[in-house]
Amino acid sequence: MANSEDVELDGATVLAKSLKSQGVEYMFGIVGVPVIEVAMAAQAEGIKYIGMRNEQAASYAASAIGYMTGRPAVCLVVSGPGLVHAFAGMSNAMENCWPLIVVGGSCDAYQEGMGGFQEYPQVSSAKSFCKYSARPSSIDRIPFFVEKAVRQSIYGRPGCSYIDLPGDMITQKIPDSRIRMLKKCPPAPLILADPVCVKQAVDVLSAAKRPLVVVGKGAAYSQSENSIKEFITSWNLPFLPTPMGKGVLPDNHPLCVSSARSKALQEADVILLLGARLNWILHFGLPPRFHKDVQIIQVDIFPEELGNNVGKWLGLVGNINSVVQQLLDETNRRTCKPTIISSDPWWKLLQQKMSTNQTTFEEMVSDTSTPLNYYAALSEIQKAIPKDSIIVNEGANTMDIGRVMLLNTLPRHRLDAGTFGTMGVGLGFAVAAAIWCRDHAPGKRVVCVQGDSAFGFSGMEIETLQRYNLPIVLIILNNSGISFGIDQDTWTSMESAGDMTLLSPPTSLKPNTHYEKIMEAFGGRGYFVNNIEELRRSLTEAVQMKDQSSLINVSINPMAQRKPQNFFWLTKSKM
């Protein structure tokens, strides 16, 4: 029986208290029936609620917090369509292996099967997009399910958890004496690799003639930058970061061979793979992008990932930081420590290729004719932004060229389309990064560089930036299309010729669209840029503004492309 002095708590409050006890700092979402009370209860408990304009952007934002911090944020959605929209961010979090919790309201339990408002089989449907999907059986069980959802999201291979709450459970009240809060779920336990395999790995690396380290975003997520730096520099190993592995060691580090990426992958005889998967981003580890006899040493938390797509491999299962420390310890135990010296043929080959590619880059950067090309524009952006900026980068050419031109010196400071190749993540990621910086790294700038097509997926989140006074520098490289567009004269002639639904190329967008006007509509600063001098002036002003967001709309040659290559980023050739 309830004590007469008991305070009654509703389900929304119990959920908020449970999330707070698990260390949740942020909740992103869109409210409506039946979850308005959940957002209000979260704020009452000190959880910061950020109202977004689309559930996809909200789910992307919450997942970015998970990547940056190693602890999940919450995406709060309404029932039915709200959850369906969030499936985008849930699947993106799963593919990227980022912790995320989605909380979805649902119709009252007694209305199930009756055609209730936005009734949908949410728990079963969410299972395809997450590691854990459940509905608490009663209000007093909410703390148990929240703790389990957090644990599932961060243990093993990180991912998404879903908690479903019927509307009547959100508003129903029970005495607080019936509620037992659980302790905060501790970080995932550290897992060490088999010592025998560690010794074998050092033996293989010691015998290598052309070794290479590939640093993935799993290495960034695991916060193993210090041990990786010590290991790579002690061996003098060339390393290659994946797009979101950039910054684990600085991109301008003398051992970084990003500008000889293709040659390094093609010629390496041993590759140490740290927190990266042999998927499309790394061309599946197969020829012709990799040497046919390459030996892979793969470090991953997920045993099932080991040896995927390749035949010659050695797996080290464990936490990346711990396993790299094991490799260091094994190296230090040996009287003869292997080191790759700069005079070795391998280093000479890589340095020659880097020098050749650098000359090509400099030629493209030096071409500042109008309309601008990507290399010239991105070079100016790189020179103007603070070196410790968090860079959000998405688009086709904008992202592909941006991963080379926009340098990172710190880990977890690049957010892009990731493993799932998801377009539309940019502004959600930028909102999350700016909110986190304001609380944990005041003064750090967030710079979001997008293509015009990518911007279109979530452009209304500009209102979110302004509502929360987030001083993001947003740059659109506007080529009037998806990968490539058409110029104004061609567009005008097509319009006069007939039906644009039959004549306009599927890749084209309207030329010379003034996206900066959207920023101005919400009180921010907008710039339209046609040439290199205008770009320099606008970047200088935008970076100096610390109290409002700005949008720089840069007109790019519609047919500008990447530099010619023997191999495309994908194994399939692009059109």
Comparing CA positions, the residue from 391, 399, 386, 511 lying closest to residue 443 is 386
* Residue 309: predicted pLDDT: 92
Tell me the C-alpha distance between 511 and 56, whole Å.
Answer: 27
For range 425-439, the mean pLDDT: 98
For range 487-497, the mean pLDDT: 93
> Six-digit token pair at 501?
């639904």
Least confident of 107-111, 325-329, 351-355, 397-401: 107-111
Tell me the C-alpha distance between 89 and 499, whole Å.
Answer: 36
Tell me the C-alpha distance between 31 and 446, whole Å.
Answer: 26
For range 435-446, the mean pLDDT: 97
* Residue 4: predicted pLDDT: 57
- pLDDT class for 571, splitting at 50, 70, 90? very low
| Contact (CB, 8 A) for 24 and 101 | yes
Q: Mean of the per-residue pLDDT values for the chain?
A: 94
For range 503-531, the mean pLDDT: 96
Cis omega (within 30 of 0) on the bond before 81?
Answer: no
For range 527-537, the mean pLDDT: 97
Residue position matching structure tokens 């700016």: 434
Tell me the C-alpha distance between 388 and 568, whole Å.
Answer: 30
Least confident of 1-15, 107-121, 330-344, 421-435: 330-344
Cis omega (within 30 of 0) on the bond before 338?
Answer: no
> Six-digit token pair at 488?
């104004």
* Residue 311: predicted pLDDT: 86
Comparing CA positions, the residue from 386, 426, 423, 435 lying closest to residue 406 is 386
* Residue 2: predicted pLDDT: 54
Percentage of the chain lying above the pLDDT 90 cut: 89
For range 455-476, the mean pLDDT: 97
Tens-digit pLDDT profile for residues 189-237: 999 999 999 999 999 999 999 999 999 999 999 999 999 999 999 999 9
* Residue 360: predicted pLDDT: 86
More reliable by pLDDT, 35 or 359? 35
Rounded to the nearest angstrom, the gap between the alpha carbon of residue 5 and the centroid of all alpha carbons in its chain is 48
Residue position matching structure tokens 């009252």: 108
Least confident of 63-67, 342-346, 455-459: 342-346
> Six-digit token pair at 329?
């310890």
* Residue 42: predicted pLDDT: 98
More reliable by pLDDT, 311 or 92? 92
Kindly report the CA angle at 241 between 539 and 472, in degrees rounded to 5?
25
Q: Please tell me whether residue 173 adopts helix, strand or coil conformation.
A: strand
CA distances from 462 to 144, 172, 389, 477 (A): 37, 37, 19, 17
**pLDDT above 50 for 574:** no
* Residue 109: predicted pLDDT: 86
* Residue 341: predicted pLDDT: 64
More reliable by pLDDT, 360 or 335? 360
Q: Are strands 390-394 and 414-416 parallel, antiparallel or unpaired?
A: parallel
For range 334-357, the mean pLDDT: 82
> Six-digit token pair at 492?
């005008």
Tens-digit pLDDT profile for residues 249-269: 999 999 999 999 999 999 999
CA distances from 432 to 27, 59, 159 (A): 10, 10, 18
Tens-digit pLDDT profile for residues 52-89: 999 999 999 999 999 999 999 999 999 999 999 999 99
**pLDDT above 60 for 566:** no
Q: Please tell me whether residue 124 adopts helix, strand or coil conformation.
A: helix
For range 526-549, the mean pLDDT: 96
Rounded to the nearest angstrom, the gap between the alpha carbon of residue 498 and the centroid of all alpha carbons in its chain is 42
- pLDDT class for 575, splitting at 50, 70, 90? very low
| Contact (CB, 8 A) for 423 and 394 | yes
